[in-house]
Structures are given as C-alpha cells and as structure tokens.
Amino acid sequence: MFNDIGALELVTIVVLGILVFGPDKLPKVIQDVTGFIRKIRAFSDSAKHDIRSELGPEFKDFEFEDLNPKTFIRKQLTENEDLKEIRSSFDLRKELNDVSDAVKSSAADGDPASPAAAAATPAVTGPDLLKKPAAPAVDQRSRFDADAT
C-alpha cells in the first residue's frame, strides 16, 4: 500500500502528526487508524468471500484483480491458446529484418527501382521544397487596412 513513500515523505508525515495531534495523543491516533484499516480489510475480505460463494463453483478461479482492464487483457493474451499460436507463427522482428535485408541487397546490386537507389539519386522533376518561394509582385500584394486590424 505504501510502497512508493520515501524517507522524506515519512519524516514529513511524522512531523505533521506530532504537530497536529501532539506527542501525547499520537500513539492513540496511530492505533485507531491501524484498527480502522484492519476493519476495512476484514470487511473487504468477507465481501469477496460472499461474492465468490454466491457465484458458485464455475467461478472458483475468479479473481477481483481480473476486473482491471489491463490485467484482464494481459491474462487473456497470455493464457489464450489461439492467440499463442498466432503470435508464435507471426514474428514481426523477423519480418522486418527480412524486408530490410531485401532492400539493402537490392540497393547494393544497383537496382534503379529500389527505394535506396532512388534516395541516392536526386529527383529532377517536381518542385524543390527546400528553396524559398519567390516574393509576390508588388501589384499582387494585398493592401494593409489599418481599420480592419
């Protein structure tokens, strides 16, 4: 529950507890809070047990953590046999390596139709997007209207 609390946060909580409740009442407050947390956990465990008993034997492996969508999807992806077969038959890294090897080999052979060879030779046709466009002629510029701005 408190896995992400560091030493500085813990010291801050203790100092605030001493300032708010005082050193005399602080142990009693800590006992009350821990007792309250124990009661909430006991209530939660009994509610889980009641729900499992009401669902019946077909839901004996039901876990409440599975209601979290991330956990549910992760469990379905790892336990579903059909998905395991599909994942084992399709290796994306292998496919990408095969494609990149084919592109590299065709570029090394000097194939003019390959993408690597096309990238090596500059295109002659088409607009040059790196050049700045020419400024419009004076008569094509729109007039500045001080009242419109």
71, 65 Cβ separation under 8 angstroms: yes
pLDDT tier at 138 (50, 70, 90 boundaries)? low
Nearest one of 48, 69, 68, 70 to 59, comparing CA atoms: 48
Rounded to the nearest 10 degrees, the angle between the axes of helix 69-79 and helix 81-89 is 70
Q: Which amino acid, 49?
A: H
53, 45 Cβ separation under 8 angstroms: no
pLDDT tens digits, residue range 99-132? 888 888 877 776 555 555 555 555 555 566 666 6
* Cα–Cα distance for residue pair 24/41, rounded to 1 Å: 28
- What integer pLDDT is reported at residue 46 of this predicted model? 93
Quote the tokens at residue 54: 């009401």
Percent of the chain with pLDDT over 70: 72
Q: Tell whether pTM > 0.75.
A: no
pLDDT at 1 over 70: no
- What integer pLDDT is reported at residue 61 of this predicted model? 76
